[in-house]
A and B are shown apart, each in its own frame.
Chain A
Amino acid sequence: MKDLLEVSGLCLQFGGLTVLDEVSLRVPEGGVTAIIGPNGAGKTSLFNSVSGNYRPHAGRIVFAGADITRLPAARRAALGVARTFQNIALFPSMTVLDNVKLGRHVHLRSGVLAGALYLGRARREERRLEAYIEREVVELLGIREILGESAAALPYGLRKRVELARAVAMEPRPVPRARGRLRLAEPAAGLSHGDREQMMRLIRDLQRLRGITLLLVEHDMHVVMDLADQVVVLDFGRVIAAGTPAQVREDPAVIAAYLGAESEQAS
């Protein structure tokens, strides 16, 4: 399999603190790669370096053959590297449909006057938006029945699904100049173990359906074991293991790194 993303010798420091230390990894095209590691291992920093939010001090990031190390986030997005925002809180007093529509706010243009008149341009834009959501989101996530409900009235699980629906709606169409499609996802924040796994499974299925390569960040290795094709383990800013989930699970360095976390969970 061809590598879509190749990170080599990445170093990142905050003040005197080394967050990433010579990190190298390859993300094969079309699959799911998970970055795992205990808290503070540098997963999110790696994630932010790839998305373009952090500037690494050394090393190279190559995406589909192009060096993107110095490119700003927006340019990377134009090439096909983007974060998914699947856990931004919903707007409680708005309907599910309006929440999903807000996911495409930046793709819309109509202003106050056009909106107030709701003739011609604004109406066409709104129709197109509804058609897009109908085509790309509604069926895929099974939210047809709840489109008119207010978000606050939904049970927790459905709310999570609407958040994901909005993230899917945000997804730009394949960009003409894109060299590949890589999505960076960090579904962990604030979710319980089971919800996280369910969320990741949904994301994985969606990306697979659209032929998008996925790079996940997660601190609990059990969550990603049966859905990632490849696992990269970070500890103290270094890659301590990489391979299939089965290989990584048996790796003595990984077991050692996770021992603290394991005993914490047991107690």
Chain B
Amino acid sequence: MTGPGATDTSANVPSRSGRAEPRRRGQVDAAPHPAALHSAAAAAGGGHAAAARRAGGAALAVAVLVAVPLFGNSYHLHMACLFGIIVISAMGLNLLTGYAGLISLGHAAFMGVGAYGVAWFSSRLGLPFYLCLPLAGLLAAGAGMVTGLPSLRIKGLYLAIATLAAQFILGFVFNEWESVTGGRGGTNVAPAQVGGLLLSTEREMYYPIAAVAVASLLAARNLFRTRVGRAFMAMRDRDSAAEVLGVDPRRYQLVAFGVSSFFAGIAGGFMAYFYKVVTPGQFSFQLSLFYLTAIVVGGMGTVQGVLLGAIFMTATPSALAAVAGVFGPLAAGLLAPLREVLFGLLIVLFLIFEPGGLAGIIGRTRKRIMLITAAKE
């Protein structure tokens, strides 16, 4: 089964543990796992109060989400829908890059697969909305797993380049496979329909998007308190040690690509229904970069980071546009390139100065406040 050499390497794994842990960039060291926090709180005897607080928070969040269409105008709802789509897709990328430690530069391409999937399933096959979305997710998951195949052999930078290749190969397919994708002009998507109810405007799309966004956050949170999620994090932290414990990194890398792309496919599917047209330009490398920025800024490896990243990324373009408006039409022309520069800059700065992202900053601040209030008591 194993030769002497193989056994020796496994026996040498432990010796590394003796040294101080270098803090690896891009990883959230300090952010405790919510489930473990829960257990720890329960162990300390404060379980009921914490559970009640959490139930109260959840009820409030649901109330706010339900109330948005009652008070918002169509611009608010447009932004809320986009926000929901960003949450779903960013959660997918965070599963892969933040939790499982596999960098992807091709996330947008998997969203594209989902979007074209929805277009095909609904227009050509006439399938209903509630079947098209999961099917689009599965289609994207398949594409993601094929892209993940090289991860069985290569890691780090090389894997990032493989995902970049997937981005451009799929982009080429979107452009050129005209009989299916409609080529450069794209393809139209009929509005979603549930029973007799037409889901056409942003007001009508809001509830399905919000529901799926909440579901994807809950699904991710659940996943990371069970076996598969722990395996993802273990192989991110130390793949050799994970292997000794019986976590097969190759298997879980593929699973991570599949699950991540499933989320991307669903988000892309919603985009198709939302814009009612799918074009190759929507799923360019810029969009992949957008999502990478979202999770790096928000906080890799946390569910909270996805929300913060999505808020940031929804607000930034409007803020930039407002600032550019002050400086007149010339500045407005520079807006698009300026955005890319800003995103790139943000990724670099956060990786260097705050690998935990906004979630890391908030977590530390909250801890400090708790310490101060505890000291006062």
Q: Choose, from B177-185, B232-240, B335-343, the stretch at the interface.
A: B232-240
Task: Report the separation of the CA atoms of residues A98 and B34 in the bound assembly, to the nearest whole angstrom.
Answer: 11
Interface residues of B in 23-74 (CB under 8 A from A): 23-24, 27-33, 35-37, 39-41, 43
By the criterion CB–CB under 8 Å, are A48 and B233 in contact? no
Q: How far is the CB of B290 from chain A (nearest CB, A)?
A: 25
By the criterion CB–CB under 8 Å, are A116 and B219 in contact? yes
By the criterion CB–CB under 8 Å, are A115 and B245 in contact? no
Chain B 235-250: CB-based contact to A (< 8 A → 1; otherwise 0): 0111001101111000
Q: Does A91 contact B (CB under 8 A)?
A: yes
Q: Choose, from A32-40, A101-109, A231-239, the stretch at the interface.
A: A101-109
Task: Report the separation of the CA atoms of residues A44 and B228 in the bound assembly, to the nearest whole angstrom.
Answer: 34
Q: Does B21 contact A (CB under 8 A)?
A: yes
Most chain A beta-carbon neighbours within 10 Å: one of B16, B246, B255: B246
Task: Report the separation of the CA atoms of residues A126 and B29 in the bound assembly, to the nearest whole angstrom.
Answer: 24
Chain A 83-117: CB-based contact to B (< 8 A → 1; otherwise 0): 00101111111111110011101101111101111
Q: Does A211 contact B (CB under 8 A)?
A: no
By the criterion CB–CB under 8 Å, are B17 and A87 in contact? yes
By the criterion CB–CB under 8 Å, are B30 and A148 in contact? no
Task: Report the separation of the CA atoms of residues A91 and B29 in the bound assembly, to the nearest whole angstrom.
Answer: 10
Task: Report the separation of the CA atoms of residues A60 and B360 in the bound assembly, to the nearest whole angstrom.
Answer: 58
Q: Does A190 contact B (CB under 8 A)?
A: yes
Given contacts A89-B238, A110-B226, contact A53 B15 (CB under 8 A): no
Q: Which residues of A contact B238 (CB under 8 A)?
A: 89, 91-92
Q: How far is the CB of A85 from chain B (nearest CB, A)?
A: 6
Q: How far is the CB of A125 from chain B (nearest CB, A)?
A: 7
Given contacts A91-B241, A92-B29, contact A144 B43 (CB under 8 A): yes
By the criterion CB–CB under 8 Å, are B36 and A147 in contact? yes
By the criterion CB–CB under 8 Å, are B245 and A125 in contact? no
By the criterion CB–CB under 8 Å, are B222 and A89 in contact? no
Q: Which residues of B contact A109 (CB under 8 A)?
A: 227
Closest B residue to A118 by CB, please name it.
Answer: B222
By the criterion CB–CB under 8 Å, are B226 and A105 in contact? no
Given contacts A95-B32, A102-B247, contact A116 B220 (CB under 8 A): yes
By the criterion CB–CB under 8 Å, are A150 and B29 in contact? yes
Q: Does B195 contact A (CB under 8 A)?
A: no
By the criterion CB–CB under 8 Å, are B241 and A93 in contact? no
By the criterion CB–CB under 8 Å, are A91 and B12 in contact? no
Q: Which residues of A contact B4 (CB under 8 A)?
A: 14, 45, 48, 54
Given contacts A94-B234, A105-B227, A148-B40, contact A117 B219 (CB under 8 A): yes
By the criterion CB–CB under 8 Å, are B40 and A88 in contact? no
Interface residues of A in 146-191 (CB under 8 A from B): 147-150, 152-153, 159, 163, 166, 170, 186, 189-191
Q: Does A130 contact B (CB under 8 A)?
A: yes
By the criterion CB–CB under 8 Å, are B43 and A94 in contact? no
Q: Which residues of A contact B228 (CB under 8 A)?
A: 110-112, 115
Closest A residue to B255 by CB, please name it.
Answer: A112
Task: Report the separation of the CA atoms of residues A115 and B29 in the bound assembly, to the nearest whole angstrom.
Answer: 24
Q: Does A122 contact B (CB under 8 A)?
A: yes
Task: Report the separation of the CA atoms of residues A44 and B18 in the bound assembly, to the nearest whole angstrom.
Answer: 20
Task: Report the separation of the CA atoms of residues A180 and B15 in the bound assembly, to the nearest whole angstrom.
Answer: 30
By the criterion CB–CB under 8 Å, are A189 and B11 in contact? yes
Most chain B beta-carbon neighbours within 10 Å: one of A44, A93, A147: A93
Task: Report the separation of the CA atoms of residues A109 and B227 in the bound assembly, to the nearest whole angstrom.
Answer: 8
Q: Does B334 contact A (CB under 8 A)?
A: no
- What are 9 A-B contacts defined by CB distance under 8 Å? A45-B4, A87-B15, A93-B27, A97-B39, A97-B40, A102-B234, A105-B234, A112-B223, A153-B30
Closest 9 CB pairs of A and B: A148-B40, A190-B15, A87-B14, A118-B222, A115-B226, A106-B246, A95-B36, A89-B17, A91-B237
